[in-house]
Structure 1
Amino acid sequence: MQHPQEHEERILLATREFAKSINSGRKVVADMSSLVDATSRLSLSNLDYWERLIRWEFSEVLRSSTPSKWKPWTQSTPFLTWIDLCSGDGFKREKTLCSLSGAAPNSFFFALAVRRLNDWVRQVREAAQEKLPIIAKESDPEHVVDALCVTLPHWNSWGRLEDADKRVLLEITSIEEVSQALKLRIMSATSGPMTSMLAQVGRTATLDHCLSEIAEDAIQPSVRAKAYRCLFEGKMVWFEGRKWEWTDIRYCEGRLKPVLSERNLSVTSPFLETLKKAAVDHSPMVRRVAGEMLIRELKTIGEESLKLANLLASDSSPSVSERGKFALKKLETQEA
């Protein structure tokens, strides 16, 4: 495993070589394979740092290697490439987005294009809205999903992101190849904010038909619990943001209150069958959801309620067994 210092040296070297080839005066597009290889090894969780590092190094090399103005025949061709998405010039970022075609070289460069939705220049954001769906359809779905996984769980912190920008990203998740890769990622990931990913993607019906599969087979217990809860309640709930709420305006005291939104699912699931599966899940987190739903629907379940209540009451997890015992007490009260 490479250390961050080694990653940084590789990035700087690849950026330097690419910048020199851009400014060499050749009338061919420079080869950026070394830069693509270097950025393919980066974690996208620290994307802001790598973007600033590449921008600084690229501009410094271009500035220092600019051909003499007395030799106009050696002036460089102003190529626009994926690396210009890092440019400090808003006009160049906009022009780069408008000129891009084909697939993104890797996850890093597609993530750079996604970040332009939060750009400080309005025209750049508009260009990103137009081009991102086109680029996503041409790109490797795994590269697209990599970028979405570092964007969707945190996009509420992007101050310039508007509803139109969110619709663009949700449109990308609905691309068939991307939605399939996204489902597999949510199910197979052993770490990361996959529960938040499922909730944010759930703003649309893209994964509604996969919720039963996710509930049964996802690796992370929190993801399975979220999927089961959605199936039980028939709706998807997601975190929309926070708003300030005064608790005592006389003393200027208040707090940030979470804002939730919801959408009814486009599919239905047999309640009792789903409850039985959740009740025997190997994670207490999921079995707690089963206990909660059993208590809520005791009157409608019928004879199976006693079996399920006894099963949960004998659970090895105290938080699950408490729910089972409470369900048994309610059943006794109903019979009395």
Structure 2
Amino acid sequence: MPRPPEYCDLFTYRKRSVVPENVQELARELGVSFQRKKVSAELVSAFRSALQNLPAESVPRGASEIREIAQMNMAYGHREPIGLGTRFLQALGLNHKNGDTLLQDHPDLGWLLMFHGSGYVRQAAMEALTTSPSCPFEVAAVVYRLNDWVRNVRTASTTYGREFLVTASAEAISESAFFLLPQMNFLSRWDDQALSVLQDSIYRTEVLDEMREQFLAPRRGKVGQSLRLILQRADFDIHLENLALDARLPTVRAIAVETLLMGRARWFVGYRREWVNKVYGITRRVAEFETRNIEIDFEVEEILGAAARDKSSLVRRIAADLLISKREQLTAEMAELSDVLRNDKSSAVRSRIDFLDRTIASA
């Protein structure tokens, strides 16, 4: 994933922060106001507005930084000793039996308190929220609460996500998906219901249309990995032909061409250990992939011809690989494309066509 931008750290001992200076200042001011039980609607609104420009990949590190800046760690930051359970919530103004609570008056305060060091407060924050995430950072923050180490927080987050995450804007979901899709293999605490909430959010038609536009344009990060992961379900298959012909990034064109011509989607799922020498206890790490057959109609000759003439050797190699796999059923058009690739400037492409020629000659 791309590294989030860094800024000067204003309040902690870190040298750099992934949280912009204005967000740091607002988080500190809102955290102090929360402790003093003097929160204003203007300050809550200003803090949430400041989150709009944060990328989704800032959440893992940004959550701990915001918690520390706003003095919401369990170890310090409170002005008086307080107990746990009901007394703890009362001291923070979070007792649900009291109608005049800070979160009831300012539900959007939950966008700060979801990073609190106490699971009681994070749960109350998720239960108080009444609006959908409005930016990639908020989407990713909710997904990380779906994976919270406290079961009650995960339950509250799943209930929230079922109502509000699935209605977030297509732009916010699609942009955060480039970060969240690879993270799904590492977020291990959530259950099938929480995973279903995230998938229902990402695989909405309008979100997939927005992601197609993102894949067509150049962007940084492991875009190819995200494309392979979105292909775990068939919902995105209808966009593959468009990507194979018009995507700006060679990696995206290569994956789309490979998926179409080979008739299967392939994505990384993890690693396994494989024995090299049992006597000496030597193993190696081997990548594991899962596959899914795709069944969509497209012009094979058009895709193959475009791939054989692509300006990237990565894509041309895939065209050569398909010619090898279809060597027993080569059409006149395919034979013509092999002539085009025979003198390719890439040695990797030429060697494949040379193998094709030798195989045909020996048959």
TM-score calculated relative to the size of structure 2:
0.80
Residues of 2 paired with 1:25 and 1:153: CA distance?
39
Residues of 2 paired with 1:253 and 1:325: CA distance?
37
Residues of 1 paired with 2:267 and 2:350: CA distance?
29
Alignment partner, residue 251 of structure 1:
280
Residues of 1 paired with 2:153 and 2:25: CA distance?
28
**CA apart distance, 1:158:** 2.8
Residue aligned with 1:59, SS? coil
Q: Which runs of 5+ in 1 are unaligned?
A: 67-71
2:247 paired with 1:232: no
**CA apart distance, 1:45:** 2.7
Q: Give deviations 1:125-179, integer Å, cap 9, x for gaps.
A: 2333333243233322222122221121233233435555433322212112211
**CA apart distance, 1:333:** 4.1
Q: Which moved more, 1:101-110 or 1:278-287?
A: 101-110
Alignment partner, residue 155 of structure 2:
126
Residues of 2 paired with 1:332 and 1:248: CA distance?
39
**CA apart distance, 1:306:** 2.2
Residues of 1 paired with 2:193 and 2:248: CA distance?
33
Cα RMSD for the two superposed structures:
2.9
Residues of 2 paired with 1:300 and 1:114: CA distance?
48
Contact in 2 for aligned 1:199/1:238 (Cα 8 Å) = yes
Q: Give deviations 1:47-102, integer Å, cap 9, x for gaps.
A: 22211111122235973499xxxxx9xx7833252112111112222232233222
2:102 paired with 1:78: yes
Q: Kindly report which structure 2 residues correspond to 1:1-336, keeping only aligned pairs within 5 A, or say none.
A: 4-5=7-8, 7-23=19-35, 25=37, 29=41, 31-59=43-71, 63-64=78-79, 77-79=101-103, 80-334=109-363
Q: Which moved more, 1:225-234 or 1:298-307?
A: 298-307
Residue aligned with 1:207, SS? helix
Residue aligned with 1:102, SS? coil
Residues of 1 paired with 2:101 and 2:160: CA distance?
24
Contact in 2 for aligned 1:311/1:324 (Cα 8 Å) = no
Residues of 2 paired with 1:138 and 1:22: CA distance?
29
Contact in 2 for aligned 1:118/1:158 (Cα 8 Å) = yes
Query: Structure 1 residues 247 and 317 mapped into 2: Cα distance closer, same or farther (>3 Å)?
Result: closer
- Number of aligned positions between the proteins: 328
Residue aligned with 1:243, SS? strand
Percent identity between matched residues is: 25
Contact in 1 for aligned 2:56/2:138 (Cα 8 Å) = no
Q: Which moved more, 1:194-203 or 1:3-12?
A: 3-12
Q: Which runs of 5+ in 2 are unaligned?
A: 10-18, 82-89, 94-99, 104-108
Residues of 2 paired with 1:267 and 1:222: CA distance?
21
Residues of 2 paired with 1:65 and 1:317: CA distance?
70
